[in-house]
């Protein structure tokens, strides 16, 4: 039978843990970006509870696309050891899809995919706290210690569960807030940056280019005879065509480049640090590649063709948002003018 003093001491200890959990919750609940959320969460948990190793394992499931994009990570390419990205199957197999904390102090091999290699050799025990967003397990918050007692499996995991729930609820909030602000800047069909974003990005990049005396290139792209796609195959095919083109534009540009949907079948590339020759080369490569990569739609190959106009700040005196766009649009118009009209979009019938 515990003494009154022991009971009071235990109650105080629990109160102290609850207060620390509350402090963490208050500090993470209003964060706007997933990357900042994880940084804050990990450092707060480690600091408030004096934990040797704290890291997050995230599955590569499509439900995590938004979070992975936000933290800038892909599987096998962790942003840092504290954010560990792994296959969904490995994760669910190791944890048996448990929604309760898992305490481990032996048999780490089973959980090896969850543990960054820099932490694995130091572990005496660990706690795996599942993170659940929108009812789906998306990974875990993990706590590790060199002693085999701290997370000994028979220990009470009540507060660990509390931590898992608070982290999950806050992450869901951050994720939704970030998604809303992301979508406000995007074209809903292609998810490319929208025209308003172009205006802001172009102003920003122009002043950066002036400050650093670096060139900035812009390519204006228009799909040829796009109306024919809609008229021949219907609007769904037209939508697919626009998505197909936008994916190719993303694939064929570099990480620092920006791709925008300007309007209907018009796209703009913003290429920091590229001069006129670079921009012309990139644009003509994209044009050639699209011409050689017809889109498959219901067993038909629908051919693609674009016209473009490329311009760089090194070709204009005192370039502005308007003059840069206008110069690229003029060049696009010149290319369009010399293009023979197409009457059919079908290259090859029936691929089956």
Ligand X SMILES: Nc1nc2c(ncn2[C@@H]2O[C@H](COP(=O)(O)OP(=O)(O)OP(=O)(O)O)[C@@H](O)[C@H]2O)c(=O)[nH]1
Shortest distance, position 195 Cβ to ligand X, whole Å: 13
* Of the residues 69, 136, 227, 298, which one makes contact with ligand X according to CB under 6 A: 227
Closer of 141 and 302 to ligand X (Cβ): 302
Task: Say whether residue 225 binds ligand X (CB under 6 A).
Answer: yes
* Of the residues 224, 257, 280, 329, which one makes contact with ligand X according to CB under 6 A: 224
Local structure of residue 138 (DSSP, 8 states)? E
Closer of 254 and 336 to ligand X (Cβ): 336
Q: Binders of ligand X among 53-92, rule CB under 6 A?
A: none
Shortest distance, position 329 Cβ to ligand X, whole Å: 12
Distance between CA atoms of 5 and 9, rounded to whole angstroms? 6
Local structure of residue 340 (DSSP, 8 states)? P
Closer of 24 and 223 to ligand X (Cβ): 223
Distance between CA atoms of 125 and 123, rounded to whole angstroms? 6
Q: Are 284 and 199 in contact (CB under 8 A)?
A: no
Shortest distance, position 46 Cβ to ligand X, whole Å: 48
Find the part of the chain contacting ligand X (CB under 6 A) among 83-91, 166-174, 221-229, 289-297.
221-229
Q: Are 54 and 144 in contact (CB under 8 A)?
A: yes
Q: Binders of ligand X among 160-199, rule CB under 6 A?
A: 189
Q: Are 122 and 171 in contact (CB under 8 A)?
A: no
Local structure of residue 80 (DSSP, 8 states)? B
Closer of 111 and 308 to ligand X (Cβ): 308
* Of the residues 91, 226, 260, 297, which one makes contact with ligand X according to CB under 6 A: 226
Tokens 């309760």, residue? Answer: 100
Q: Binders of ligand X among 291-310, rule CB under 6 A?
A: none
Closer of 122 and 336 to ligand X (Cβ): 336
Closer of 21 and 219 to ligand X (Cβ): 219
- Tokens, residue 310: 């490329």
Q: Which residue is nearest to ligand X (CB)?
A: 238
Distance between CA atoms of 329 and 311, rounded to whole angstroms? 9
CA atoms 113, 119, 123, 126: torsion sign: negative
Shortest distance, position 231 Cβ to ligand X, whole Å: 8
Q: How many residues of this chain interact with ligand X, rule: CB under 6 A?
A: 15
Relative to beta strand 53-59, strand 83-86 is: parallel
Instruction: Give the DSSP H/E element, type plus range, for residue 126.
Output: strand 125-133
Task: Say whether residue 235 binds ligand X (CB under 6 A).
Answer: yes
Find the part of the chain contacting ligand X (CB under 6 A) among 177-185, 203-211, 220-228, 278-286.
220-228
Task: Say whether residue 285 binds ligand X (CB under 6 A).
Answer: no
* Of the residues 212, 264, 293, 347, which one makes contact with ligand X according to CB under 6 A: 264
Q: How many CB atoms lie within 10 A of CB 180?
A: 9
CB under 8 Å to 177, separation ≥6 — which residues?
32
What is the DSSP code string of 234-287? -HHHHHHHHHHHHHHHHHTS-TT-EEEEEETTEEEEEEET--HHHHHHHHHHHH
What residues line the site for ligand X (CB under 6 A)? 189, 222-227, 230, 235, 238-239, 242, 264-265, 336
């Amino acid at each position: 039978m515990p003494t009154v003093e022991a009971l009071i001491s235990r109650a105080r200890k629990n109160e102290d843990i609850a207060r620390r959990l509350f402090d963490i919750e208050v500090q993470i609940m209003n964060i706007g970006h997933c990357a900042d959320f994880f940084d804050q969460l990990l450092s707060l948990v480690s600091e408030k509870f004096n934990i040797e190793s704290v890291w997050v394992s995230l599955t590569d499931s499509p439900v995590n696309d938004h979070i992975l994009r936000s933290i800038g990570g892909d599987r096998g390419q962790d942003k840092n050891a504290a954010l560990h990205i792994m296959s969904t199957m490995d994760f669910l197999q190791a944890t048996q899809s448990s929604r309760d904390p898992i305490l481990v102090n032996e048999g780490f091999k089973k959980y090896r995919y969850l543990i960054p290699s820099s932490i694995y050799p130091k572990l005496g025990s660990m706690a795996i706290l599942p993170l659940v967003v929108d009812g789906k397990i998306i990974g875990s918050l993990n706590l590790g210690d060199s002693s085999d007692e701290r997370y000994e499996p028979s220990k009470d995991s009540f507060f660990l569960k509390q931590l898992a729930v608070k982290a999950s609820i806050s992450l869901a909030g951050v994720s939704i807030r970030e998604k809303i602000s992301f979508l406000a800047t995007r074209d809903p069909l292609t998810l490319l940056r929208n025209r308003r974003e172009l205006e802001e990005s172009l102003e920003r990049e122009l002043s950066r280019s002036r400050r650093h005396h670096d060139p900035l290139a812009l390519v204006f792209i228009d799909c040829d005879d796009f109306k024919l796609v809609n008229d021949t195959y219907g609007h769904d095919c037209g939508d697919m065509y626009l998505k197909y083109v936008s994916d190719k534009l993303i694939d064929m540009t570099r990480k620092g480049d920006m791709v925008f949907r300007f309007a209907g079948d018009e796209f703009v590339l913003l290429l920091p640090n590229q001069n006129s020759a670079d921009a012309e080369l990139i644009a003509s490569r994209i044009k050639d590649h699209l011409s050689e990569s017809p889109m498959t739609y219901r067993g038909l190959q629908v051919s693609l063709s674009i016209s473009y106009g490329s311009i760089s700040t090194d070709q204009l005196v005192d370039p502005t948002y308007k003059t840069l766009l206008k110069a690229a649009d003029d060049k696009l118009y010149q290319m369009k003018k010399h293009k023979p009209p197409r009457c059919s979009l079908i290259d090859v019938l029936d691929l089956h």
